[in-house]
């Protein structure tokens, strides 16, 4: 039986809990051997894990500076020198490149916090580019035995805690989906994600960004893997924003992929709107719902120019965000929509 004694000896002191639980679920379901490679380095940016070629596609291959996100660094020094584990491509060279001759079936990824304070504006490009680069190089490194479009799952950023305000936390969640709000999409083919912002754990000994409920994270990743990696008809996305319809005193937000039983409303908060001539975000309460629609009563509904959902670093209490699916109890991911067409419904841009 594999153990820390038989595999890593005394030097092996930890293994990713999410990775292990995810693998265990695969084994329990399919009764086949599951090999796991734990490759990680905490507090790192996506640029460190990507090749110079992929970074160049995003104009992000030069040595980094704090740029527009420096103001929220808050005594968290970000060193960018050749010895730093956040230097461009350093972890690609040291930890990924040596594995490219090993055939793999897929990847799960848990990263993003560091990019809330570093090159946030590039993440909608650098993250998809990194996935593309890994796929291309693994395909070549294994002479085609690893798929050039192998399934790639990621964990959307968890809650951070209200005592450490980071303005770009919600933005990274959006950029993790290449600003689509969902995966797979045109920039992220064969990609799945686990939404985790509804698992706050401010008392976690490892910090609230590492909630102790690893089982729910693994469960949600597993559902996506069943669908995209093992080709089962499994519901895994949660309700996905589709369109908005505005009436005289009412906003109706429609969702697709709601699953059997439609949406479930657990509280009334999370929505905010902007109205014409005002850039302030106004919080609104949910007043009702249908199978695939959230209803918000608002006197200035026809003046709404933008709407967003759960655009906070810690939007709700544990598993108490507003919108879930009745099937598999999955939360709806965050979104932001700009109303570009006054003939309704409205589409996200």
Cα(127)–Cα(185) distance, integer angstroms: 13
**C-alpha distances out from residue 283 to 275, 307, 321, Å:** 12, 10, 15
Contact 86, 48 (CB under 8 A): yes
Q: Give how far the C-alpha of residue 209 lies from the chain's centroid of Cα atoms, to the nearest Å.
A: 13
Cα(168)–Cα(113) distance, integer angstroms: 10
Output the six-digit token pair for 66: 């704090």
Output the six-digit token pair for 40: 């990680």
Q: What is the pLDDT of residue 4?
A: 58
Q: Give how far the C-alpha of residue 66 lies from the chain's centroid of Cα atoms, to the nearest Å.
A: 23
Look at the domain 240-338 and name its fold.
Answer: Immunoglobulin-like (2.60.40)
Cα(47)–Cα(45) distance, integer angstroms: 5
Domain boundaries, the chain: 4-228, 240-338
CATH architecture observed for domain 4-228: 3-Layer(aba) Sandwich (3.40)
Output the six-digit token pair for 62: 């030069």
Per-residue pLDDT of the chain (349 residues; tens, 9 = 90+): 556 565 556 666 678 899 999 999 999 999 999 999 999 888 899 999 999 999 999 976 554 433 333 333 333 444 444 458 889 999 999 999 999 999 999 999 999 999 998 999 999 999 999 999 999 999 999 999 999 999 999 999 998 876 566 678 899 999 999 999 999 999 999 999 999 999 999 888 887 888 899 999 999 999 999 999 999 999 999 999 999 999 999 999 999 999 999 999 999 999 999 999 999 999 999 999 999 999 999 999 999 999 999 999 899 999 999 999 999 999 999 999 998 755 444 444 3
Q: What is the pLDDT of residue 7?
A: 58
Which helix (H) or strand (E) segment is 254 a member of? strand 250-256
């Amino acid at each position: 039986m594999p153990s820390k004694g038989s595999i890593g000896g005394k030097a092996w002191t930890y293994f990713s809990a999410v990775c292990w639980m995810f693998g265990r679920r695969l084994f329990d379901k399919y009764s086949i051997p599951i090999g796991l490679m734990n490759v990680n380095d905490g507090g790192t940016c996506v640029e460190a894990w990507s090749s110079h070629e992929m970074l160049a596609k995003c104009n992000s291959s030069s040595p980094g500076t704090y740029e527009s996100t420096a103001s929220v660094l808050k005594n968290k020094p970000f060193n960018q020198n050749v010895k730093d584990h956040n230097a461009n491509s350093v972890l690609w060279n040291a930890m990924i490149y040596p594995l490219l001759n090993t055939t793999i079936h897929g990847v799960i990824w848990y990263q993003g916090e560091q990019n809330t304070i570093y090159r946030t504006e590039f993440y909608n490009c650098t993250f998809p580019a990194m996935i593309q680069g890994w796929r291309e190089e693994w395909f070549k490194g294994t002479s085609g035995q690893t798929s050039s479009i192998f399934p790639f799952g990621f964990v959307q950023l968890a809650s951070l805690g209200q005592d450490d305000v980071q303005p770009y936390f919600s933005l990274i969640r959006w950029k993790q989906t290449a600003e689509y709000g969902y995966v797979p999409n045109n920039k992220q083919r064969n990609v799945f994600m686990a939404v985790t912002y509804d698992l706050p754990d401010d008392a976690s000994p490892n910090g609230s960004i590492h909630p102790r409920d690893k089982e729910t994270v693994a469960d949600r990743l597993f559902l996506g893997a069943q669908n995209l990696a093992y080709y089962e008809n499994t519901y895994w996305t949660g309700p996905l924003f589709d369109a908005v319809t505005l009436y005289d005193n009412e906003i109706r937000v429609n969702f697709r992929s709601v699953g059997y039983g439609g949406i479930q409303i657990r509280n009334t908060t999370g929505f905010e709107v902007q109205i014409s001539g005002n850039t302030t975000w106004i919080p609104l309460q949910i007043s009702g719902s249908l199978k695939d629609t959230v209803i918000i009563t608002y006197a200035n509904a026809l003046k709404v120019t933008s709407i967003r959902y759960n655009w906070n670093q810690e939007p709700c209490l544990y598993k108490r965000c507003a919108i879930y699916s009745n099937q598999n109890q999955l939360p709806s991911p965050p979104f932001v929509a700009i109303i570009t067409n006054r003939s309704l419904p409205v589409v996200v841009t």
